[in-house]
Amino acid sequence: MSITLAIVEDLDEVRDGLKNFLTLSSEFNVLDTFKTAEEALHDIPRLKPDIVIMDINLPGMNGIECIRQVKNKTLGTQFMMFTVYENDEKVFEALKAGASGYLLKNTGLLQMSEALKELYKGGSPMSANIARKLVSVFHAQEKNAVPVETLSNRENEILQWLAKGLLYKEIAEQLFISTSTVRQHIHKIYEKLHVQNRTEALNKAFGKS
């Protein structure tokens, strides 16, 4: 079974490049692509893709506003920001609107592919410097954050790697364990913290409500 995708990107070379790369793999099925948020608003609720790859800077309505308007109409769809913007305001605005992942456009295609699979499986992939921005804000709220008492030592350790923006595979390599074991630990972390994704887990762990 393949992961169904929609791409919202106004630059032809970026949109077509993503589509052409992702359709090379049987793991992905690109249902449609859109140049504007207005087009996407009309068709995404009908298509119901697993993931929408969303640019921010679009002609007319921007990608963040598009997510706000379409999110409640597509409850099973995850949104991955794919943008050049890395300033705090855009990052937090996108996450607040309902994005679950945030990658910069300098992300390699192979890393993008892995991030989409992670997002589909319940993760919240982000470029490392975006994750660092989030953590710096969490630390500013509570500089003396301590390990979450309900989590085991290993779970707290994995939470720290999540905070650094690492993908599941990269965490597995750091800890010399399998990717499936990392995924099991993260599932337990989310259950114990009563959260759904990485951003919510970091909010809970670092004291930013």
**Cα-trace Rg, the chain:** 17
CATH architecture label of 3-120: 3-Layer(aba) Sandwich (3.40)
Fold agreement (3-120, 132-205): no
Confidence of residue 37 (pLDDT cuts 50, 70, 90): very high
> Nearest Cα to 28, choosing from 98, 120, 111?
120
Domain boundaries, the chain: 3-120, 132-205
Higher-confidence residue: 131 or 138? 131
- With a CB cutoff of 8 Å and minimum separation 6, the contacts of 105 are 14, 82, 83, 84
Could you report the per-residue pLDDT of 137-193, keeping only the tens digit for each? 655 554 444 457 788 889 988 988 888 778 888 899 999 999 999 999 999 998 888
Helix (H, G, I), strand (E, B) or coil at 200: helix
pTM: 0.69
- The stretch 67-72 carries a mean pLDDT of 91
Fold of 132-205: Arc Repressor Mutant, subunit A (1.10.10)
User: Mean pLDDT for the chain?
Assistant: 86
Confidence of residue 4 (pLDDT cuts 50, 70, 90): very high
* The two structure tokens encoding residue 49: 């893709």
pLDDT at 69 over 90: yes
Higher-confidence residue: 195 or 68? 68
Q: Could you tell me the sign of the dihedral formed by the alpha carbons of 147, 151, 154, 160, in that order?
A: negative
